[in-house]
Structure 1
Amino acid sequence: MPAGQHRRRLMGEINVVPYIDVMLVLLIIFMVTAPLLTQGIEVELPQVGAEPLDPEDYLDAEALVLSVDKDGQLFLNLGEPETPITPEIATERATALLNRGPDRPVLVRADARASYGDVARAMRVLQDAGARQIGMVTDPEELRAPGGR
């Protein structure tokens, strides 16, 4: 080695600071979005012995869900899902969403104690918004004892 030249040593350490920064950003994103993923309206779903829908049909698009509680109040899984809304507001919001994604699954999630008229009005709101098909969310029917009801 000629005089005046120094040999560089290789550094064998990995700088983990950028990875920590990315993980902290992801943690913040998940902390903010996690409360939005659940719908806070407690609804006692009717039990029906219907065939479950194929989940493959609903993997690509998030479903539009209009909930009806036992008092007939409407709740949409957009914006503030815990706040009751009027049929007019539900129609406006659902129309805007269905215009952007017309193939989005549309579901009614009604309490078993809700009146038939309230559920029919909720379905009408979704029809007015442009929903082509409307599904009903139910719980699977429990097995009954023979001769029992």
Structure 2
Amino acid sequence: MKGMGMMPQQRRRPMSEINVVPYIDVMLVLLVIFMVTAPMLTQGVKVDLPETTSDPIQQDKDVESITVSVDANGAYYLEVGDRGGDPMSLDEVTDQVAKILSQRANSEIMVRGDEFVDYGVVVRLMAALQAAGASGVGLITDMPDTNP
């Protein structure tokens, strides 16, 4: 009477599959979190800059400087050495600077921005100069008025 009334005992083999559904759920939650928070990130840090004077930049006599000026209306002017120019578009300035740097790679590039010009205009100019091949750009400023 060995097996009467009882079910034969079956051995269960271990399950060799991994249930990945919980991992997919976690991944989707993280994806949503990153999609929501990514636009909130900024590319800069808010700082309060000190007011101080700076030492002048030492220029080599044999290196010709390129000065790009931006007036209060956002017009660009390219000055190479002592030669000034007419108002230009940003694309024209970029093309001219790229041509000059292809011939004289060691030229210094300086940016002179009007006090009342929008900050974004100067940043776009500096990005365009970098795209034209400028490895470094200096900013020209005026000395602060010491008379109160």
TM-score tier, shorter chain, comes to: 0.5 to 0.7
The match for 1:142 is 145
The match for 1:117 is 120
Contact 1:67 1:110 in 2 (8 A): yes
Paired letter, 1:76: L
- Aligned pairs for 1:1-149 (under 5 A) are 49-54=53-58, 57-78=59-80, 81-143=84-146
Could you say what secondary structure the match of 2:112 adopts?
strand
The structure-2 alpha-carbon separation of the partners of 1:49 and 1:61, relative to structure 1 and needing over 3 Å to count, comes to: same
Paired letter, 1:50: S
Alignment TM-score, normalising by the size of structure 1: 0.58
Paired letter, 2:120: G
Q: Distance in 1 between matches of 2:140 and 2:118?
A: 16
> Deviation of residue 48 (structure 1)?
6.0
Q: Distance in 1 between matches of 2:85 and 2:99?
A: 20
Contact 1:108 1:136 in 2 (8 A): yes
Q: Output one character per residue of 1:11-52: Cα deviation in whole Å (capped at 9) or x when no partner.
A: xxxxxxxxxxxxxxxxxxxxxxxxxxxxxxxxxxxx962221
- State the structure with bigger RCO (CA 8 A, min sep 6), 1 or 2: 1
Q: How many residues are aligned here?
A: 96
Alignment TM-score, normalising by the size of structure 2: 0.59
Could you say what secondary structure the match of 2:146 adopts?
coil
Matched residues, percent identical?
28
Q: Distance in 1 between matches of 2:85 and 2:97?
A: 16
Contact 1:68 1:119 in 2 (8 A): yes
The structure-2 alpha-carbon separation of the partners of 1:98 and 1:48, relative to structure 1 and needing over 3 Å to count, comes to: farther
Q: 5+ residue gaps in structure 1? A: 1-46
Q: Distance in 2 between matches of 1:141 and 1:48?
A: 8
> Deviation of residue 144 (structure 1)?
5.5
